[in-house]
Amino acid sequence: MTQEQTDVLIIGAGPAGAVAAGLLRKQGRQVLILEREQFPRFSIGESLLPQSMEFIEAAGMLQAVVEAGFQYKNGAAFACGEQHTQFDFRDKYSPGWGTTYQVQRARFDQVLAMQAARMGAEVRYRHEVLAVDVTGQRPRVEVRDQDGHTHGISANFLLDASGFGRVLPRLLDLEYPSAFPQRSALFTHVQDNIPAGSGFDRDKILITVHPQHCDVWYWTIPFSDGRCSQGVVARPEFLAQYPGCDTQRLRALVGEAPGLRRLLKESAWDTPARSITGYSANVKSLWGKGFALLGNAGEFLDPVFSSGVTIAFKSASLAANCLQRQAQGAPVDWESDYARPLQAGVNTFRVFVESWYAGGFQKVIFHAKSSPEIRRMIASILAGYVWDTGNPYVAEPRRRLSVLEQLCCG
Ligand code: FAD
């Protein structure tokens, strides 16, 4: 078997892999990305958070993203029966970007990967990593190329950005069960035909709560081309009550939420729905000798606050910083310099996700008399600023949120 060598080897050209590549290229590192698919390819995860813009900018990819013409996004709207509320991310507590985009991921991921290549990263599509060995001096992977040939590549450092492929967690026995119960999502893209005068704000994601089941919720993510991503999330046993194909089940569920049904009444359901189950995942460790896990290859919580891509970018940024310091000869402790800082923000999201499904956070956001200052702090969290410990809801998320829930439920 032929043996090749590189500096930093990245598995996966999704958001985590591409942004890591951009940041490392700016440091002058040699970067090789192995990507199983041919881009563009479909991926779920279409609503970005403003915090993600900071990482896109730092990776040298802002201009490419801006010029791609994605749907502008400035906030999140929530609906449940007759209750409505919205958060404008430009009016938030933390400093930084207040706007972002809603993106067709096939195109977004291609834009980022092409930009990484323009910056000098080598991206090999239709190259699947099959095996890995981290016991030697340097990590080594076995890869199968588009012609079915396998060969070995060793690297100074290995970043696993394989997302739901979870290459290293699977191969190195790092899988650890998520504390969240299993949930499923049904989703599709529709030609939405939502009339301009309907009051629907295309600049915001709309999250609709099922009128009878507070743990069942829908996303409506408008794109810039008159189409929307429409999805629903529920426990698998709940979805199992609905007969038919995924499209029929999704349409039946949309029919149960009167506001959403009205909004989508002229929509053309022209694309078969897909489903995904059991996406929440965790790992025993986010790093090991010669490797680190980025984005969804590490922990994935839940889609409700659209946090996945932002967390993927943050992981890329922290890992690139560690590699830079390591290259400069500075001591790097991947637990305290990478895993813990990443998990700090993930844990903030975790508190809000748990509260969402328990119903408490829903009471908080729909509460009629909440203070503008507290809403600005909540807007910061929803905008992805979960690493800004200047925000009291980041510094002490569990205690603060539970006090707020009691005030709003009282
Ligand atoms: P990915 O985007 O999964 O990229 C991984 C890449 O690795 C892929 O291109 C894959 O082909 C490649 N790969 C896999 N295995 C191999 C292999 N063996 N060899 C080589 N390459 C390989 N996030 C948001 O930010 N906003 C949202 O609105 C949102 N909605 C979501 C809705 C649902 C229902 C779900 C389940 C998730 C949602 N997410 C959302 C999360 C989002 O999808 C992920 O967090 C994000 O895509 C993670 O990026 P990544 O780069 O880590 O992995």
Q: What is the DSSP string of 206-234?
A: EEEE-SS-TT-EEEEEE-TTSEEEEEEEE
pLDDT (tens digit per residue) in 318-340: 999 999 999 999 999 999 999 99
Three-state secondary-structure class, residue 383: coil
Q: How confident is the model at residue 149 (pLDDT cuts 50, 70, 90)?
A: very high
> Which ligand 1 atom minimizes the distance to the CA of 46?
28
Contacts 24+ apart (CB under 8 A), 395-401: 397/347, 397/348, 397/351, 397/352, 398/351, 401/351, 401/352, 401/355, 401/360, 401/361, 401/364
Å from CA of 325 to ligand 1 middle: 27
Question: What ipTM was estimated for this complex?
Answer: 0.99
pLDDT (tens digit per residue) in 341-398: 999 999 999 999 999 999 999 999 999 788 999 999 999 999 999 999 999 999 999 9
pLDDT (tens digit per residue) in 60-71: 999 999 999 999
Query: What pLDDT score was predicted for residue 197?
Result: 86
**Which of 287, 301, 298, 312 minimizes the C-alpha distance to 19?**
312
Å from CA of 262 to ligand 1 middle: 31
Q: How confident is the model at residue 408 (pLDDT cuts 50, 70, 90)?
A: confident
Average pLDDT over every residue of 402-408: 92
Domain extent listing, the chain: 3-71+99-177+280-346, 184-277, 357-409
Is the per-residue pLDDT at 409 higher than 80? no
Encoded tokens for 381: 């969290």
> CATH number of the domain at 3-71+99-177+280-346, please?
3.50.50.60
Which residue from 33, 36, 105, 150 has its CB within 8 A of the most atoms of ligand 1, so it is best to mutate? 36
Å from CA of 166 to ligand 1 middle: 10
Q: In 158-222, where does DSSP find H-type helix?
A: 167-171
Which residue from 49, 151, 296 has its CB within 8 A of the most atoms of ligand 1, so it is best to mutate? 296
Encoded tokens for 312: 């993927």
Which residue from 52, 112, 162 has its CB within 8 A of the most atoms of ligand 1, so it is best to mutate? 162
Running DSSP on this structure, what letter comes out for residue 113? H
Whose C-alpha lies nearest to ligand 1, atom 50? 163
> Which ligand 1 atom minimizes the distance to the CA of 143?
19
Å from CA of 314 to ligand 1 middle: 14
CA-CA distance, 264 to 276, in Å (whole number)?
23
Å from CA of 162 to ligand 1 middle: 8
Phi/psi zone of residue 5: left (φ > 0), alpha (ψ -120 to 50 degrees), beta? Answer: beta
Whose C-alpha lies nearest to ligand 1, atom 53? 163
Å from CA of 299 to ligand 1 middle: 11
> Which ligand 1 atom minimizes the distance to the CA of 185?
34
CA-CA distance, 178 to 182, in Å (whole number)?
9
Q: Check if the beta carbon of residue 94 is closer than 8 Å to that of residue 5.
A: no
Q: Check if the beta carbon of residue 180 is closer than 8 Å to that of residue 353.
A: yes
Å from CA of 32 to ligand 1 middle: 19
Q: Check if the beta carbon of residue 136 is closer than 8 Å to that of residue 142.
A: no
Average pLDDT over every residue of 251-270: 97
Q: Which CATH architecture has domain 184-277?
A: 2-Layer Sandwich (3.30)
Q: How confident is the model at residue 290 (pLDDT cuts 50, 70, 90)?
A: very high
Rounded alpha-carbon distances, angstroms, from residue 120 to 7, 26, 129, 182, 263: 13, 9, 21, 40, 45
Whose C-alpha lies nearest to ligand 1, atom 2? 14
Query: What pLDDT score was predicted for residue 102?
Result: 98
Query: What pLDDT score was predicted for residue 2?
Result: 59
Is the per-residue pLDDT at 3 higher than 90? no
CA-CA distance, 367 to 373, in Å (whole number)?
14
Is the per-residue pLDDT at 410 higher than 70? no
CA-CA distance, 283 to 44, in Å (whole number)?
21
Extended strands (E) in 145-202: 150-160, 175-176, 184-191
Pocket of ligand 1 (CB under 6 A): 11-17, 34-37, 43-48, 128-129, 161-165, 167, 185, 276, 279, 294-297, 300, 303, 306-310, 312
Is the per-residue pLDDT at 247 higher than 60? yes
Where is 81: in which H helix or E strand? Answer: none
Where is 128: in which H helix or E strand? Answer: strand 128-133
Bridge partners of 178, per DSSP, are none
Domains 3-71+99-177+280-346 and 184-277 share a fold: no
**Which of 277, 216, 205, 209 minimizes the C-alpha distance to 48?**
205
Where is 291: in which H helix or E strand? Answer: strand 291-293
Average pLDDT over every residue of 221-246: 97
**Which of 295, 343, 348, 356 minimizes the C-alpha distance to 43?**
295
CA-CA distance, 48 to 277, in Å (whole number)?
21
Dihedral angle at the C-alpha atoms of 333, 339, 345, 347, nearest 10 degrees?
A: -130
Encoded tokens for 244: 């038919």
Q: Are strands 227-234 and 217-222 parallel, antiparallel or unpaired?
A: antiparallel
> Which ligand 1 atom minimizes the distance to the CA of 128?
19
Encoded tokens for 166: 């979870």
Q: Check if the beta carbon of residue 85 is closer than 8 Å to that of residue 52.
A: no
